[in-house]
Structure 1
Amino acid sequence: MKCTITVVLLSILFNLCLTTLSPPSDKKTQKNVKPQEGARKNNVLDRKLVVENAYVKDILKYHATYHQDVSFRNFKNPVLGYVTPWNSKGYDVAKTWAPKFNYICPVWLQVKRQSPSVYIISGLHDVDHAWMKSVRQKGSQSNLKILPRLLFENWQPSDLKAFFMEPTANVEQEALINEVKKACKQWKFDGIVLELFSQIGKYIEKSVKFIQKFGLSMDDNDFKLILVYPPFRGYPSDDFLVQAFNEIYPYVEAVSVMTYDFSNPQKPGPNAPLNWIRLCVEKLMNNEDSTEKKSKILLGLNFYGNAYTVNGGGPIVGTEYIELLKNAKNNQALTYNNKTGENYIEIRTPQGAKKIFYPSLYSIHKRLELAHMYGTGIAIWELGQGLDYFYDLF
């Protein structure tokens, strides 16, 4: 009898030791969640996935699924999607969900001043005609346009002075405009998205007449001009930008307002608070109720996020977000902030604790509601960074 009791006790002690020495079970995290992929009969709204405090397990399970009718539009206002050469998934997204977009903007082109009145457009090696043809065919019902981004790159102070200040400025500007129109004709672009303000410094106030001239000239040739526009940040230049918008919007197809990057590793927090986006719209509207003005505004919508640590952290895209979520506790949910209209989550990873701000179905839904209320469009930066089920909302 004593022998039997001894054997039983030894067995219990042995099992207790195994429990103590073994690594923590994966059941405490989300690493065993198996994701589903591909088309579904119902969209995320019908599947009740658009909720304030989504469970991590549902994000991991359903993020790669989407409504089988990729041509149906929930959001009727104009939508622009940026695509970058360094994120190839964006090219596939543009093809798959082409009917959801009015404009696709591949980030391809730069313009430089080579010598007086001589301008060179670089980046044309990235142009993919087969992809452009496919996107246009699939987006035919929305009359989708392809407008590459054009960036003023590495202009010297002497170049900017000649372009905006010298007596020959008109000649310089005409030379650049003609070079752009020539490229649009040769490469079959529908126009361009011009990023100018972030590159020209003190000459920003001299740019309005140029943009007006540029827009008129492009329109005369049936090309579209969309202008990248800074958000309201409380800078001294903000008042000028509000006034400039009143002078610019009749001459352009739209302005793509960069309502993102509100926070950074030096000032951690939400990517684009909803109250700030609302402020940016109201500043540009300047107490006017103009349907035309509203329709020319494309509110920036980030499809990237940030993972902050005690040492700073930095940007993350969808694939990185999903990997980080696998470290979340079982049954952990996102936290929603009513003031900022964003979700976040705090998790522990092998590299340490992280506080993660990344778009959710609910936060995107709230921004689309805001855009619908004001009558504005949306500009997504950028398509390759998001999750597949985001596009059900558009």
Structure 2
Amino acid sequence: MKCLTTFVEVLFMLSVCLATLSPPADKRSQKSVKPQEGPRKNNVLDRKLVVETPYAKDIIKYHATYHQNVITRNFKNPVLGYVTPWNDKGYDVAKTWAPKFNYISPVWLQVKRQSPNIYIITGLHDVDHAWMKEVRQRSSPGNVKILPRLLFDNWQSADLKAFFKDTSSMSEQKALIEEVKKTCKQWNFDGIVLEMISQIGKYVEKSVKFIQQFGLEMNEENYKLILVYPPFRGYPSDEFFISAYNDIYPYVEAVSVMTYDFSSPQKPGPNAPLYWMRLCLEKLIDNEENPLKESKILLGLNFYGSSYTTNGGGPIVGTEYIELMRNAKINQMLSYNNNTAENYIELKTSQGTKKVFYPTLYSIKKRLVGPI
């Protein structure tokens, strides 16, 4: 997996958990632990913070600290960061660490079919030109590209049929592509991240030619097109996506594979087991030694977690995670599962016992560079 690129959920980067092996110096409860904040002279490796089973109290204490060098890139492959709407801190993270990224994708836009051959881009009220300017200024000139995510939103069956199946589908597709290019020019975007595959149902097999044409026309205007791609889940449709990747990757800047959300409230468990992530990528590569084919894959890393009780549960963000960790016992450490390469912890809270999964420095490094 060393040759593969990556993307991250930018919103929660500051909530990556740091930890040391030292036990607490006294018997205070976790609720009394005061977090440290801001830059530090040494990186997490020098500070001995990347450990397999961190203490809860150290996660609380160090989660808001980071290395003072926010410019030098240690991970040389292309990196895409999403700025998602459920945590505004992502905008600040993108500015601070702009030199670390190749692409930033704020989750802003939706495309709707208004009438035959008429498409509108919504969500433009969220565009922040001042933020875009600052992100670009803080990165090396021309280094970071801003590609808002574009979602096929609330398309009805008649819209999908007209777009993919009817004799007029070519003109429909052309109209949408023209609207996207016009929007990129007007709003100073470098391209888009397209999320459509999970929204179009039975028409997915007819989407390949559209994606190819979309990529070609965006490239002609020097715009980037990154496609959000589903992971391998053992569904009948998986074989199509594996095959379709061969037809898609030459036409797009990259494919952003959704290697996260492995579990759900209906089936609680780890966020993204390492063995499953490897399987998703191996299926696409198919043992073929093709550097271009591999370089187009962006490996998804979740920077959020999940919390489950006997009654269900769901995703949590960094601030929620830290509050949950304050329920940990004195000297309680996170557990580590060698099979999934994820950390987790069981906590007794006022809502009952919760099993919490959240990325740690150790689990992230395992995914970026392999065995530690």
- What TM-score does the superposition give when structure 1 sets the normalisation length? 0.86
Task: Give 3-state SS (helix, strand or coil) of 2:32's partner.
Answer: coil
Task: Give 3-state SS (helix, strand or coil) of 2:241's partner.
Answer: helix
| Corresponding residue number in structure 2 for 1:300 | 300
For structure 2, the residue ranges without an aligned partner over 5 or more in a row are 1-25
Pair 1:216-2:204 in alignment: no
| Corresponding residue number in structure 1 for 2:257 | 257
| Contact 1:108–1:149 (CA under 8 A) maintained in structure 2 | yes
Query: 1:190-339, aligned counterparts within 5 Å?
Result: 190-339=190-339
Query: 1:27-176, aligned counterparts within 5 Å?
Result: 27=27, 29-140=29-140, 143-176=143-176
2:226 is matched by which residue type in structure 1?
A: I
1:176 is matched by which residue type in structure 2?
A: L
Report the alpha carbon displacement of residue 28 of structure 1 after superposing the two structures with TM. 6.1
Question: Which digits, 9 at most, give the CA deviation of each residue in 1:322-358, with x for residues without a partner?
Answer: 0111110111111111110100001111221111001
Instruction: Find the aligned partners of 2:93 and 2:332 in 1 and give their Cα distance.
Output: 29
For structure 1, the residue ranges without an aligned partner over 5 or more in a row are 1-25, 374-394
After superposition, the Cα gap between the structure-2 partners of 1:60 and 1:305, relative to the gap in structure 1 and judged at 3 Å, is: same
How many residues align? The count is 346
Instruction: Find the aligned partners of 1:96 and 1:298 in 2 and give their Cα distance.
Output: 22
Question: Which digits, 9 at most, give the CA deviation of each residue in 1:230-249, with x for residues without a partner?
Answer: 00000000000001000000
Task: Give 3-state SS (helix, strand or coil) of 2:278's partner.
Answer: helix
- CA-based RMSD: 1.3
| Corresponding residue number in structure 2 for 1:348 | 348
| Contact 1:195–1:227 (CA under 8 A) maintained in structure 2 | yes
Identity %: 76
| Contact 2:50–2:362 (CA under 8 A) maintained in structure 1 | yes
Instruction: Find the aligned partners of 1:170 and 1:313 in 2 and give their Cα distance.
Output: 44
| Contact 1:52–1:362 (CA under 8 A) maintained in structure 2 | yes
| Corresponding residue number in structure 1 for 2:364 | 364
Report the alpha carbon displacement of residue 72 of structure 1 after superposing the two structures with TM. 1.6
| Contact 2:163–2:172 (CA under 8 A) maintained in structure 1 | yes
2:238 is matched by which residue type in structure 1?
A: D
After superposition, the Cα gap between the structure-2 partners of 1:148 and 1:369, relative to the gap in structure 1 and judged at 3 Å, is: same
| Corresponding residue number in structure 1 for 2:8 | none
Question: Which digits, 9 at most, give the CA deviation of each residue in 1:347-392, with x for residues without a partner?
Answer: 111221111001111011111114xx9xxxxxxxxxxxxxxxxxxx
2:206 is matched by which residue type in structure 1?
A: K
Question: Which digits, 9 at most, give the CA deviation of each residue in 1:169-191, with x for residues without a partner?
Answer: 11110000000000000000000
1:156 is matched by which residue type in structure 2?
A: Q
| Corresponding residue number in structure 2 for 1:6 | none
Instruction: Find the aligned partners of 1:66 and 1:72 in 2 and give their Cα distance.
Output: 13
Question: Which digits, 9 at most, give the CA deviation of each residue in 1:210-260, with x for residues without a partner?
Answer: 000000000000000000000000000000000100000000000000001
Instruction: Find the aligned partners of 2:128 and 2:285 in 1 and give their Cα distance.
Output: 37
2:194 is matched by which residue type in structure 1?
A: L
Question: Which digits, 9 at most, give the CA deviation of each residue in 1:72-130, with x for residues without a partner?
Answer: 21211111111123311000000011111110000000001111100000000000000
| Corresponding residue number in structure 2 for 1:179 | 179
Report the alpha carbon displacement of residue 139 of structure 1 after superposing the two structures with TM. 1.6
1:160 is matched by which residue type in structure 2?
A: L
Report the alpha carbon displacement of residue 56 of structure 1 after superposing the two structures with TM. 1.1
Question: Which of the pair is proportionally richer in helix?
Answer: 1
| Contact 1:117–1:172 (CA under 8 A) maintained in structure 2 | yes
1:99 is matched by which residue type in structure 2?
A: P
| Contact 2:112–2:121 (CA under 8 A) maintained in structure 1 | yes
Instruction: Find the aligned partners of 1:141 and 1:188 in 2 and give their Cα distance.
Output: 15
Report the alpha carbon displacement of residue 45 of structure 1 after superposing the two structures with TM. 1.1
